[in-house]
Structure 1
C-alpha cells in the first residue's frame, strides 16, 4: 500500500516540528540561564523538569479534554498555550518565573504532542509507524534550526520568531478536516497487558535521550573546557546525528518492523556513549554526540510506534499514556542528572544513560511477540 501525505499530514508534521523546536530549547538555554541567573545544575535541571511536569499533566488530561472539546479545538488551543509559556520564558528574569513559564509551555506542548500523534495514528492506520517516523524527521530538522538560530541570534529572539509557524498554519489550515476516533475511544476501553511494560520501555528510552538532550551542552562545556557558545555549537553534532538517523529510519520503516529498528537504535546509542563519555577534546565530543544522536534520535518514534500498535483502535488513549510515560522520563531523568552532577560531576552523572539503554532493551524483548520481528 502506498503511503500518502495529504494536507492534514503536512500540518501535523509542521506542528510536531514546532513543538520539538520549543521542547529542545530548555536544554540549550540552561547554560545561558546558569550565567544570567547565577544558578547551579540542580536549578538548571528544574527548567527541563518543569516542562516535563506540564507534559505529564497533559498526558493525564488530554483524552478527556478531547472528548469534551473535540480534537480540532485541542490541536490549535494547545499550540496557543505552548506559545504563551514560551513567551513567559523569554520575558522572565528570575528562576521562579522561567521555571513556571516552562511548566505552562510543557502543558500546552504535551497536549499538542498527544494530539498530533493520535491524529497521525488514526489518519494512517497500519502505516502509522511510517507517519510517526517521518514526523520525527521534521522534528529533528527543527532541532538543527534551533541550534543555528541560537548561535546566530539571541536565544530569546530565536524562540519568539518561531511563533510565526503555528500562526501561519492556523490561518491557512483551520478548516482542514482533522481525523479523530469516536469520543468513547478516547477515554474508554482496556489497554492490553503488555502496555505497562511498553510504557516502561518508552520511559527508559526517552530518559536516555533527554539525559543527553538536556545536559549534552553542559557536558561538552566541562569535558572539553570550552565556552557556553562553543558547547551549544557542539550540540549541532548531536542534533545532526538525530536528523540523519531519523531520515534514514523513515525509509527503513517501510521495510522493517519498528521492534527491529528500535533494537538497532539502542545498539548505536550504546556505541555513541562509549565514544562520548571519555571525551576530553571538542573533536571527540563532537564525534560522540553525532554517533549517540544517530541512535537516541530514533528511540522515541520507534518506541512510540511499538507502544501505540498494542492498542491500534484506541490511539488517543494510547498516545496520551505514551506521552505520560515519556514526559515522566523527561521530568525525572534530567533532574536526576542535575542533582548527581552537583554531587559528583556531569561526567559521572551521565552514567545513567547506559543503565536506561539496558533497561529499554529488556523492555523491548519483553514486548516483542515471537515470530513477528519482521513486517
Structure 2
C-alpha cells in the first residue's frame, strides 16, 4: 500500500487550494444577495455562474500553452494572485458588468491554480497521488465551510458580504511570502497506449462527462441553495447565506469517510454510491418546508457531493494516457461548461416557475453522472489504481 508523505510542498499546495475554495464557496451563496442589491432578475444574477464558467473554459484552453511557456509553479502562484485581485475588485464593484468581470477573473485564476496543483500532486506523490488529491480537497472544503459563515456573518452584522470575501487576500499574501518551495514541473510525456499527440482516451471523456454533471450539481447547490431555503423553507437571507455551510460540512465529512471506503471498493463504485447519497439528501432538502430538515438535507447531499470532484478528477487523470496536465486542463472545459449551463438554466427556470421547482434539474444531472460512471465501471479498469491510504 502506498504511503502519503505530507512534506512542506504538500502542505503549501493544500493551503493554495484551500484559498481558492474560500473564494469559490464564499462567493457562491451571495448570488441572491447580489440580485437584491443590484435589483436584477434571477436570470441575470445567474450570469455570475456563467462568468465562472467562462474563466474556467478560457483556462482550460490556454493552460497547456502557458504551462509550457511559464512552468507549472508560476501558473499556480499566478492563479492565486488573480484570485486575490478578483476578491479586491469584487469589494469595490457595485455594477453588474464589474461583478461579472471579477467573477470571471477569479475563476480563471482558480482554473490555473487547480489544474496546476492536481497535476503537481499526481507527479509529486506517484501512486499516492489520488489520496493526496482527495485529502487536498477535504482540506479545501474545510476552509470552504468557513467562508459562507464569515460572509453571512459580515452581511448580518451590517458590514456587507464583500468584507468577508476580501479577507482571502491576507492568507494568500502570507502563503506567498513564507512558502519556500516550488511545485514540480511536468515530467517528460509518457504515451504507453500509443495515442496520438493531444488525444485523450475514450475512458477519459466518460470521466469528464461525469465531472460536467456533478459540477452542475455542486454549482446549483452553492449558487442557488440559499434561494430555495429562503423561498421554500422560510429562512432569512443572512441565515440562508450562512446555511450553505451545511452543504460544505457534509462535503468535508464525505471526503474523510470516503478515504477509508476507497481502501475496499473501486472508485467507480464509490462514486456511484456517492451519487445515491446525494440524491437522498437532495430529496430531503427539496421536500422540507421548515429550516432544520432542509439544512439536514443539504448536509446529507454534501456527503455525496464531497466525493464527486475528487473521484471524477482522479478517474480523469488515471485515464489520461500519461498526460496529467492536458487531462486536468481539458477537465476545466467540463467543469467550466457546467458552471455556464447549469446556473443559467436553473436561474431562467426559477424566474419562470420559481426556484423550488427549477431545482429538479439537480437529480437530472445526478442521473447523467450515474449513467456514464456505470458505463466506465463496465468498460474498463483504472489505468492507475485509485486507492486512498491511511493517514500517517
TM-score, normalising length from structure 1?
0.94
**Partner Cα separation in structure 2 for residue 126 and residue 63 of structure 1:** 23
Q: Is the 8 A contact 1:65 1:74 kept in 2?
A: yes
**Partner Cα separation in structure 1 for residue 20 and residue 37 of structure 2:** 25
| 1:159 equivalent in alignment to 2:165 | yes
- Residue 46 of structure 2: SS of its match in structure 1? helix
Which residue matches 1:98?
Answer: 99
Aligned positions of 1:1-375 closer than 5 A: 1-153=2-154, 154-173=160-179, 175-182=180-187, 188-311=197-320, 313-369=322-378, 372=381
**Partner Cα separation in structure 1 for residue 188 and residue 380 of structure 2:** 35
Mean Cα deviation higher: 199-208 or 242-251:
242-251
Report the Cα offset of residue 287 of structure 1.
1.4
**Partner Cα separation in structure 1 for residue 111 and residue 137 of structure 2:** 15
1:189 and 1:371, CA in 2 relative to 1: closer, same or farther beyond 3 A?
Answer: closer
- Residue 62 of structure 2: SS of its match in structure 1? helix
- Residue 297 of structure 1: SS of its match in structure 2? helix
* Runs of 5+ consecutive residues of structure 2 not aligned to the other structure: 155-159, 388-392
**Partner Cα separation in structure 2 for residue 284 and residue 336 of structure 1:** 26
Report the Cα offset of residue 27 of structure 1.
2.0
Report the Cα offset of residue 49 of structure 1.
1.5
Report the Cα offset of residue 26 of structure 1.
2.8
Q: Is the 8 A contact 2:84 2:168 kept in 1?
A: no
**Partner Cα separation in structure 2 for residue 166 and residue 26 of structure 1:** 17
**Partner Cα separation in structure 2 for residue 52 and residue 5 of structure 1:** 32
Q: Is the 8 A contact 1:113 1:323 kept in 2?
A: no
TM-score, normalising length from structure 2?
0.90
Mean Cα deviation higher: 275-284 or 362-371:
362-371
**Partner Cα separation in structure 2 for residue 24 and residue 168 of structure 1:** 21
Report the Cα offset of residue 346 of structure 1.
0.6
Query: How many residue pairs are counted as aligned between the two chains?
Result: 374
Runs of 4+ with >6 A deviation: none
**Partner Cα separation in structure 2 for residue 183 and residue 97 of structure 1:** 41
Report the Cα offset of residue 236 of structure 1.
2.5
**Partner Cα separation in structure 2 for residue 115 and residue 5 of structure 1:** 18
* Runs of 5+ consecutive residues of structure 1 not aligned to the other structure: none
When the two chains are superposed, the root-mean-square deviation of aligned CA atoms in Å is 2.0
Mean Cα deviation higher: 240-249 or 13-22:
240-249
Mean Cα deviation higher: 55-64 or 80-89:
80-89
Report the Cα offset of residue 288 of structure 1.
1.0
Mean Cα deviation higher: 294-303 or 365-374:
365-374
Report the Cα offset of residue 244 of structure 1.
1.1
Report the Cα offset of residue 307 of structure 1.
1.1
**Partner Cα separation in structure 2 for residue 178 and residue 233 of structure 1:** 34
